Amino acid sequence: MLITIDKVLTKEQVLQFREQLDAAPWQDGAATAGTLARSAKRNLQLDDESALCTQLGQQILRILAQTPRFISAALPRAIYPPKFNRYTDGGTYGAHVDSSLMFLPGSHQQIRTDLSATLFLAEPDDYDGGELEVEGPFGVQEIKLEAGDMVLYPSTSLHRVTPVTRGARVASFFWIESLVPDEGERSLLFDLDQTVQQLTPSMAPDDPRLVQLTGIYHNLVRRWART
């Protein structure tokens, strides 16, 4: 299941992020890639341990905690702190699958990567190329979103970033461990929750049909969640 979330950041917030990121020092992204991915990865990354990375990452997490569509789609148990990357001058990332387990920075706690997220911080007209291509059961999906918009997709997916031939593609990326590990179950819960949310404005809060649907949702979460 691939889900886009519009306007995670406002245009003003994107501008604030970019003013700081464009003035920051960037490092070779290959240094953080796994053994197999290193040869396929040609981009730049912000130092994960920098104060700026921490500050902007925490701001993103605070916003996501108040974003209903994100909570509904991801049902997050743990989130790897957001990172930031930059593609320019032919920068690309060949086909790869994200690592299945990751240690949270500064701890011995591992998280399972169920979902991968990319939050776009450059307008699509500002660069050529740089599409995120995600392979799924219905073929390859190509994603290039407005600045401030985000995409969630299964971390099990083979995916790539096509070469950037003009301008710069800037984004934040991170991973989520979900309370519901199974993608099919999580997808059903998302569809059901979205249906409940769509019906709620047009129905009385005590309408038996709405109460029953809400109960079914929570009982399924209770059955499938792994805490």
The model's pLDDT over 67-76, given as tens digits with 9 standing for 90+, comes to 999 999 999 9
| CA 2/CA 207 separation, integer angstroms | 32
Q: Does domain 3-178 have CATH number 1.10.490.10?
A: no
- pLDDT-derived band at 36 (thresholds 50, 70, 90) equals low
pLDDT above 90: residue 33: no
Which residues does 4 contact at the CB level (< 8 Å), separation at least 6? 143, 145, 149, 150, 151, 152
| CA 190/CA 195 separation, integer angstroms | 9
Residue 81 has a pLDDT of 98
**pLDDT tens, position by position, 94-126:** 999 999 999 999 899 999 999 999 999 999 999
The better pLDDT of the pair 56, 39 is held by: 56
pLDDT above 80: residue 37: no
Residue 114 has a pLDDT of 98
Task: Please compute the mean of the pLDDT values over residues 144-164 and round it to a whole number.
Answer: 98
CATH class assigned to 183-224: few secondary structures
Task: Flag whether 77 is marked binding.
Answer: no
| CA 83/CA 129 separation, integer angstroms | 21
Residue 138 has a pLDDT of 86
**pLDDT tens, position by position, 42-65:** 999 999 999 999 999 999 999 999
Task: Flag whether 218 is marked binding.
Answer: no
- pLDDT-derived band at 78 (thresholds 50, 70, 90) equals very high
Ramachandran class of 202: left when φ > 0, alpha when ψ lies in -120 to 50, beta otherwise: alpha
**pLDDT tens, position by position, 156-211:** 999 999 999 999 999 999 999 999 999 999 999 999 999 999 999 999 999 999 99
Residue 35 has a pLDDT of 58
Averaged pLDDT score across all residues of the chain = 95
Task: Flag whether 169 is marked binding.
Answer: yes
Task: Flag whether 125 is marked binding.
Answer: no
- pLDDT-derived band at 28 (thresholds 50, 70, 90) equals very high
- Residue spans of the domains in the chain: they are 3-178, 183-224
